[in-house]
Amino acid sequence: MSEIKILHMYADMLDLYGDSGNMEILSYRCRMRGIECNIDKYSIDMPAPDFSQYDMIYIGGGADLEQQHIANDLLSCKDGIEKAYKNGTFLFLICGGYQLMGKYYRDADGNEIPGLGLFDYYTVAPISRRKRCIGNIVVSTDITGEEIKIVGFENHGGQTQDIKTPLGKVLYGNGNVSKGESEGYFEKNVIATYMHGPMLSKNPEIADYMISYCLHGGELSPLSDKLELDCRNVMLDRLLK
Amino acid sequence: MKRLLILIGKIIVRILRLFRRNAGNLPGIILWHLSRHKCCSMFKVDCPIIAITGTNGKTSVTNCIAQLFERSGKNIITNKEGNNLDTGICSLLLRYCDMSGRVKADMLILETDESHVPVVYSQLKLETLVVLDFFRDQLDRNGEMETLIRKIEGFAKTFEGNLILNGDDPNTARIGRQNPNNKNVKYFHAERYAFATDSIFEASEGRFCPFCGKALKYEYYQYSHIGKFICEDCGFGDYEPYITASDIDLEKPVFTAGGVTYSPKQGSIYNVYNMTAVAAVAKLYGIEQNITNGVINEYTVQNGRMETFMLGDRETTLNLAKNPVGANMTLRVMNEMKGEKELLFVLNDNVADGLDVSWIWDINFSVFKNVTRVVTAGTRAYDIAVRIKCSGYDESLITVIPDLDGAVEELAKNAGRKFVIANYTAVQPTRAALKRYIAKNSARSC
């Protein structure tokens, strides 16, 4: 039986807008195919795991306060995460997780939280807490080899700049910056995004892209995605009309 | 200028009344613009004001506190219809003030939206603030929960009136530490009840000390993050309760608070917390004990809060769930009930629901017992269907019918016990659809 191993970091602190649901969806889609999906959790004050033994590292989003709390701990994991990433471990990062892999995150009070600097982008939150990018978002992406429209929900103050390889093009909503054109950050083993919802709930192709990557490109048996696709189509019809 | 604004406001109320419209919010919105966003500042209120805020339970607690004073013979003004923003409170006061803006009453009891507490009470002098709890709810309207709590904390820094706080909710109790000079901070607390757990059962907020960032230690969790907590580093959570609910038995249901045993109509741990808050206000204001007994023991909730309908011979319970905590409580009640049942889940994403529906992923569906079928409806019927499916529930037992009448028809098709969960804007349309079904089918049978 094939197996994938996921490390879910700071599940108890970074979990906004159903982000933990992404783990539930990945394990559901594995289970339906007879793939074993083992999810380990890591949080502050725990002994550092061997990051490289995981097929995927997942970090969700959190409020400013929670992000400040985990920032130092995350920095102490820098070498381990960087090594895993270079060895091909998939990084799946939402919102706060996305921001903290860049150079830095400057919050609304001007506090600068250093990021891991794995990627060149950086994030600045506007001084007014009222200025947030909030709402449904539609993004067109071709990472699966086919052009698909994916749907999620964004809610972030942070404006992420200097993205060279985005996840996709914004068709509705904001994306990396207010009224922006691009959303997220992508490499073959990195999906970083502001899309909550949870992101995978309406975008099964993205879930399968990650599962397939973790299984080293294996062909996946098809699942009935009728509910998921109907769900997305309802939103696409509403938002792109 | 103020007199002119009052006059304009009163004319608008009259016109709306003439057209038989409920003047619940619109006059306030117009005055909000005319008064440069300070629509509550034109009123003169000499009597004490009690405000009630929090994510869950505001309406119930406000109604009960209003009754405490009403039954004590006081002339009170309260926002019964739940218009709880600054504009709603402005519209309410417009109806009761004279032409100079003076509001005549013995007491104002005002349900107030969490984000509007600092707005309204920078303009009106508040005597007592009751804060019930903070849960994820309509987060996208308010930004993040932390922002919301900080707003109230900012207000509490200079507030010297009575603060009645849920001492078992770290998100709420932290407000009590904002103004060290305020000697009027009072916490209510409840002892462990039968379904309390040693570890956390449902996704939640505030598991870390807001003052030093350490994980909070819990003696027990009543539900979600509500329970007896302490920060072992800085002592946050170590306080002397003003009033404690004990001997909680939800089967009967009974509980004791401040040495008096109450027998409320509704047996949920929520209700115990709400009524303990009511008992705290009664204690503070020296309400006669027989009046407090009457209010707490007779209070019943309607309007889709554990409301029963008969679809022919199929007993159906409807409950509002506007956030995961509410939904988890309904699932607990459903699971604790013996026998098979069918569930209808109605999910909308209108503005008042907060547009976002991702909170459904924080509902713990792993406890789904003896549920033989699920029907989903509402503007986000598919989202809840996907969510239930991914929890491991058999997809072939899920039917999606966005239209409510169709969904109720489908639900009533099979015999047996039914449960209906509806979120905020879905609850009234769902009640209406259930009533339409009942009317249609009783007409047919006679």
pLDDT at residue number B204: 57
- Give the gap in angstroms from C-alpha A46 to the nearest C-alpha of chain B: 12
CB contact under 8 A, A24 and B390: yes
Interface residues on A facing B, Cβ-Cβ cutoff 8 A: 12-13, 15-18, 20-21, 24-25, 28, 31, 45, 63-66, 68-69, 129-130, 132, 134-136, 153, 155, 157, 196-198, 201-202, 224, 227-228, 230-231, 234
What pLDDT, on the 0 to 100 scale, is given for residue B329? Answer: 82
Considering only alpha carbons, which residue of chain A is nearest residue B205? A13
3-state secondary structure of B121: coil
Region A209-223 average pLDDT: 93
Q: Are β-strands A182-183 and A168-172 bridged in parallel, bridged antiparallel, or unpaired?
A: antiparallel
For residue B279, the distance in angstroms to the closest alpha carbon of chain A comes to 34
Cβ B358–A25 below 8 Å, yes or no?
A: no
Q: Residue B169 carries which side chain, given as an amino acid letter?
A: D
CA–CA dist B114, B328 (Å, integer)? 22
Note whether B395 contacts A224, CB cutoff 8 Å.
yes
Residue from the list B358, B395, B398 with its beta carbon closest to the beta carbon of A196: B358
**Is omega for the bond preceding A198 within 30 degrees of 0, making it cis?**
yes
Do residues B48 and B42 touch, judged by C-beta distance below 8 A?
no
In the structure encoding, which two tokens stand for residue B28, read together? 């306030």
Kindly list the distances between the CA atom of residue B320 and the CA atoms of A148, B345, B436, B438, in Å, as whole numbers in the listed order. Answer: 36, 10, 19, 20
Give dist(CA A85, CA B225) in Å, integer: 35
Q: What are phi and psi of B320, to 5 degrees?
A: -75, 135
Provide the mean pLDDT of chain A.
Answer: 93
Range from A52-56, A59-63, A118-122, B46-50 carrying the lowest mean pLDDT: A59-63
SS3 B268: coil
Query: Which residue is listed with tokens 């007199």?
Result: B3
- Of A18, A132, A134, nearest to B359 by CB-CB distance is A18
Query: Any residues with CB less than 8 A from the CB of A37 and at least 6 apart, and which?
Result: A3, A4, A6, A26, A27, A30, A31
Instruction: Note whether A201 contacts B389, CB cutoff 8 Å.
Output: no
Enclosing H/E stretch for B324: helix B324-336
From A12, A28, A231, residue closest to B383, measured CB to CB: A231
Ranking A26-30, A74-78, A87-91, B200-204 by mean pLDDT, the lowest is B200-204
Residues forming a β-bridge with B46: none
- Catalytic residue selected from A30, A77, A133, A196: A196
Residue A3 host element (H or E): strand A3-9
| Structure-token pair, residue B404 | 């409510």
Residues of B with CB under 8 A from a CB of A: 139-140, 143-147, 203, 207-208, 210, 213, 215, 355-362, 380, 382-383, 385-387, 389-392, 395, 398, 400
With CB atoms and an 8 Å threshold, state whether A18 touches B360.
yes
| Residue A155 with chain B: CB contacts under 8 Å | 139-140, 143-144, 356
Cis peptide before B253 (omega within 30 of 0): yes
Subunit contact A227:B392, Cβ cutoff 8 A: no
* A95 classed as catalytic: yes
CB B242 within 8 A of CB B280: yes
Q: Which CATH superfamily is domain A3-240 in?
A: Class I glutamine amidotransferase (GATase) domain (3.40.50.880)
Indicate the residue of B213, B386, B398 with minimum beta-carbon distance to A201. B386
Do B132 and B111 contact (CB within 8 A), yes or no?
Answer: no
Where do the domains of chain B lie, and which CATH numbers do they carry?
127-298 (3.40.1190.10), 307-445 (3.90.190.20)
- Interface contact flag, B208 A197, Cβ < 8 Å: no
The stretches in chain B having pLDDT less than 50 are 138-143, 446
Decide if B203 and A20 are in contact by the 8 Å CB cutoff: yes
Give, for B245, the enclosing helix (H) or strand (E): strand B243-249
pLDDT of the residue at B138: 44
Write out pLDDT tens, residues B197-225: 888 766 555 578 989 888 899 999 998 88
Task: Report the candidate in B418, B347, B351 with the shortest Cα–Cα distance to residue B379.
Answer: B347
Report the residue from B143, B356, B386 with minimal CB separation from A227: B386
What are the DSSP E strand ranges found in B15-99? 44-45, 49-53, 76-78
Q: Which residues contact B355 (CB under 8 A, 6 or more apart)?
A: A134, A135, A136, A153, B140, B141, B349
For residue range A108-142, what is the model confidence (pLDDT) as tens digits?
888 888 999 999 999 999 887 667 898 999 999 99
Residue B11: helix, strand or coil by DSSP? Answer: helix
- Please state the φ and ψ torsions of residue A229, each to the nearest 5 degrees: -70, -35
Answer whether A201 sits within 8 Å of B383, measured CB to CB. yes
Q: What tens digit of pLDDT does each residue of A164-196 get?
A: 999 999 999 999 999 999 999 999 999 999 999
> At residue B128, what are phi and psi to the nearest 5 degrees?
-140, 130
**What pLDDT is attached to residue A52?**
97
Contact A196, A217 (CB under 8 A): no
| Nearest residue, CB atoms, B358 vs list A24, A65, A197 | A197
Cβ neighbours around A219 below 10 Å, total: 7
Interface confidence, given as ipTM, is: 0.95
Residues 6+ apart with CB under 8 A from B14: none
* Cβ contact A224–B145 (<8 Å): no
**Active-site annotation holds for A8:** no
Contacts of B395 in chain A (CB under 8 A): 224, 227
Q: Measured between alpha carbons, how far is residue B263 from residues A2, B164, B248 in Å?
A: 57, 23, 10
State the catalytic residue, choosing from A30, A95, A133, A214: A95
* Cα gap B361→B379, rounded to integer Å: 17
Max Cα–Cα distance, chain B, nearest Å: 70
